[in-house]
Amino acid sequence: MRAASYIGDHKFEFQDRECPEPDSGEVRVRLEACGICGSDLHLMHAGLLAVGHTPGHEMAGRIEAVGPHVDHLTTGQRVAIEPLVSCGDCRACREGRDSCCPALQIYGIHQPGGLAESLVVAAHRAYPVPDDLEPAIAALCEPIAVAVHGLMRARFQEDERVLILGAGSIGLVTLLAARHLGAKEIFITARHAHQAETALALGADHVIDERNADAAGLGVLGSRSEIDVAVETVGGGANTLLTATAALRPGGRVSVLGMFLEPPALSPLELLLKEIDLCWSNCYHRNARASSSETGRPADYDVATEIVDQQRERLGRLITHRFPLADIDQAFATAADKQSGALKVSISID
C-alpha cells in the first residue's frame, strides 16, 4: 500500500509499505478520506512531527478485510474511525474514558495515521455510517465527536445558551453539535469574514467580531443574555479563558477544547465569585460501550454519526478545499495559510 511519510521542512514523500492483515477483533479499512486538523499543523510547525511519520486522525473509508471474532461489521461497509488505541483494562478504559488511558496511543499522532491507503484498527473503533455519505463528510465524525464530548464535559443541557470562542473548524462543528443537542441560543466569535458567513449558514444566532470579543465586550453580552456554557476552541496563547469567564452567568461552565501552548491567563477571583467550573476535554467518551455500570448516554462517536448524517448538507460548507493524496504538500500549505479562506481541508485517498 502507499503511505505519505513526513521528510521535514513541511514536505512529504510516498512510500510503499506492506498492507497489514487484521488480527482477532480487528478490521482493515481501505481509507477514502482524511481531514487535516489544526493539531497536525501545530505539530508540524512546532517541529514535533517526526520524520518518517504518517499523520492524519480524521478518517473514513470502507472495510476491506475482517479479522476473526468480528461479527458486527462486514466488508464493504463505510465507516468513520475513532483513532484511539487504549489498554482496555485500566480504570479509565473501564469507565469509557479511553482518552485518559495511561497507555493511550492516537493514530496519526503516536502511530501511523490516515494519510495512507489502508489502516488496521480494533473493530469497536469503526463506526458504520450511511453508504451514501460522502467520505470527506464521514471523516468529520472525529471533530464532531470532540465537540460533543466538550459539551458533555460541561454538563450542557437542552435549552441552555452557549458561547463558542473561535470559528475555526472545531468552533463551527461545536455550533452544529450544540444546535443538535438543543441549545436555546448560540453566540460565536469569529476573526475572519468567511468564518462569520459560515457560522451563520450553520445556524448561529449571533456572530461576534473578534475585535469586540474582549473581556469587556463579552461581559456586556453576559449582562444582557445569561450564558450557561462557554466553549473555548482557540488555545495557543489566547486569553480566551479570561473572556469566557467574563461572559458567563454565576454557576456557568467553561469547556476547554483548545490546545494551549503556554499557561493560559485566568481570573481566579472571578472564577471564585461566580463559582465557574473549568471543564477540560480530551478527545471523546465511549461510556455506552464500557463495562462500567456508569452508563446512561450514547458514545460521543455514536452522537457524531447522527449529526453527520442529519447535517451532511451544512457540513459540506465546512470543507472548503479538497486535494488528492498526491497533492498532500499543497493541502497542508493551504490549511496553514490564513489567507486561503480554508476551514477544513480534506484529502481524498485514491
Residue 54 sits in a domain whose CATH number is: 3.90.180.10
Q: Are residues 34 and 133 in the same domain?
A: yes
Instruction: Tell me how many domains the chain contains.
Output: 2
User: How far is Cα of residue 74 from the mean position of the Cα atoms in its chain?
Assistant: 26
- What own/partner pairs with CB < 8 Å and gap ≥ 24 does 15-18 have? 17/116
Residue 184 lies in a domain: yes
Beta pairing partners, 107: 111
Q: What is the mean pLDDT of residues 276-303?
A: 76
Could you give the C-alpha distances from 323 to 160, 197, 306, 327, in angstroms and in order?
A: 38, 23, 26, 6
pLDDT band at residue 287, thresholds of 50, 70 and 90?
Answer: low
Residue 303 lies in a domain: yes
For residue range 122-159, what is the model confidence (pLDDT) as tens digits? 999 999 999 999 999 999 999 999 999 999 999 999 99
Q: Are residues 33 and 131 in the same domain?
A: yes
For residue range 74-111, what is the model confidence (pLDDT) as tens digits? 999 999 999 999 999 999 999 899 999 999 999 999 99
Q: Are residues 21 and 48 in the same domain?
A: yes
252 φ, ψ to 5°? -75, 170
End-to-end CA distance of the chain: 11
User: How far is Cα of residue 45 from the mean position of the Cα atoms in its chain?
Assistant: 19
Contact (Cβ atoms closer than 8 angstroms) between residue 140 and residue 33: no
Q: Are residues 125 and 6 in the same domain?
A: yes
Q: Are residues 217 and 318 in the same domain?
A: no
- Characterize the bridge pairing of strands 126-128 and 118-122: unpaired
Least confident of 22-26, 37-41, 72-76, 308-312: 37-41
- C-alpha grid cell, residue 206: 449571533
- The rounded percent of the chain whose pLDDT value lies above 90 is 89
Q: Are residues 124 and 95 in the same domain?
A: yes
Q: Of 244, 264, 280, which residue sits at a domain end?
A: 280
Q: Are residues 188 and 269 in the same domain?
A: yes
Cell 514523500 locates to 13
Q: Of 262, 280, 298, which residue sits at a domain end?
A: 280
- Return the pLDDT at 291: 39
Residue 150 lies in a domain: no
Residue 296 lies in a domain: yes
Q: Are residues 267 and 290 in the same domain?
A: no
DSSP secondary structure letters along 117-140: SEEEEEGGGEEE--TTS-HHHHTT
Q: Are residues 79 and 183 in the same domain?
A: no
> What CATH number is associated with residue 173?
3.40.50.720
Contact (Cβ atoms closer than 8 angstroms) between residue 340 and residue 334: yes
Q: Are residues 57 and 114 in the same domain?
A: yes
- C-alpha grid cell, residue 65: 478485510
Cα torsion 321, 327, 331, 337: sign: negative
Cα–Cα dist 34/138, whole Å: 9
Residue 233 lies in a domain: yes
Q: What is the mean pLDDT of residues 171-181?
A: 97
The CB-side HSE value for 76 (13 A sphere, CA atoms) comes to: 0
**Helices 141-153 and 169-180: crossing angle, nearest 10°?**
60
Q: Are residues 200 and 239 in the same domain?
A: yes
Q: What is the mean pLDDT of residues 266-280?
A: 95
- Return the pLDDT at 64: 97
Residue 147 lies in a domain: no
Residue 149 lies in a domain: no
- Characterize the bridge pairing of strands 78-81 and 118-122: unpaired
pLDDT band at residue 296, thresholds of 50, 70 and 90?
Answer: low
Residues with Cβ within 8 Å of residue 45, at least 6 apart in sequence = 10, 336
Q: Of 231, 265, 280, which residue sits at a domain end?
A: 280
pLDDT band at residue 292, thresholds of 50, 70 and 90?
Answer: very low
- C-alpha grid cell, residue 147: 465537540
Residue 45 lies in a domain: yes
- C-alpha grid cell, residue 282: 480530551
Residues with Cβ within 8 Å of residue 211, at least 6 apart in sequence = none
Residues with Cβ within 8 Å of residue 129, at least 6 apart in sequence = 60, 78, 79, 80, 138, 141, 305, 308, 309
Could you give the C-alpha distances from 315 to 130, 169, 341, in angstroms and in order?
A: 15, 10, 16
pTM of the model: 0.94
pLDDT band at residue 260, thresholds of 50, 70 and 90?
Answer: confident
Q: Among candidates 216, 203, 212, 210, which has minimal Cα distance to 162? A: 203
Q: Which helix (H) or strand (E) holds 153?
A: helix 141-153
Cell 473514513 locates to 60
Q: What is the extent of the structural domain holding 305?
A: 2-142+286-348
Q: Are residues 169 and 211 in the same domain?
A: yes
- Characterize the bridge pairing of strands 227-232 and 161-165: parallel
